[in-house]
Amino acid sequence: EAGVAQSPRYKIIEKRQSVAFWCNPISGHATLYWYQQILGQGPKLLIQFQNNGVVDDSQLPKDRFSAERLKGVDSTLKIQPAKLEDSAVYLCASSFGLGDEQYFGPGTRLTVT
């Protein structure tokens, strides 16, 4: 089966610019996650969707980050405006349901200069 797809793989932007990431989960997976992973750390959950509803977004910096899940399938994560500390890898994952094993995409490496 096809895995979780993410694009772009790499992005370099200047601070205060905006950027968007796209994720296509595994077909049939109801739960979708966005994580931020800073070098040397574990993934930090930003937002979790169950179908097209938000389960948890308590760690999403809502003043600059936003996410949506279109029709309960694809999802986009946006940062506007970006800060230097947003430089990280942004991982998308999906699972069949809450608490099930997660399948991760390759991630998008964001560099903010």
Partner 1 sequence: SQKIEQNSEALNIQEGKTATLTCNYTNYSPAYLQWYRQDPGRGPVFLLLIRENEKEKRKERLKVTFDTTLKQSLFHITASQPADSATYLCAHESSASKIIFGSGTRLSIRP
Residues that bind partner 1 (CB under 8 A): 4, 33, 35, 40-45, 48, 55-56, 58-59, 91, 93, 98-99, 101-107
Work out the number of other CB atoms within 10 angstroms of the CB of residue 104. 16
Least separation in angstroms between residue 100's CB and partner 1 is 8
Residue (15 or 44) nearer to partner 1, CB:
44
Helix (H, G, I), strand (E, B) or coil at 2: coil
Phi, psi of 7 (to 5 degrees): -150, 150
Give the C-alpha distances (Å, rounded to integers) separating 99 from 4, 8, 28, 72: 18, 28, 15, 18
Residue (33 or 65) nearer to partner 1, CB:
33
Least separation in angstroms between residue 106's CB and partner 1 is 6
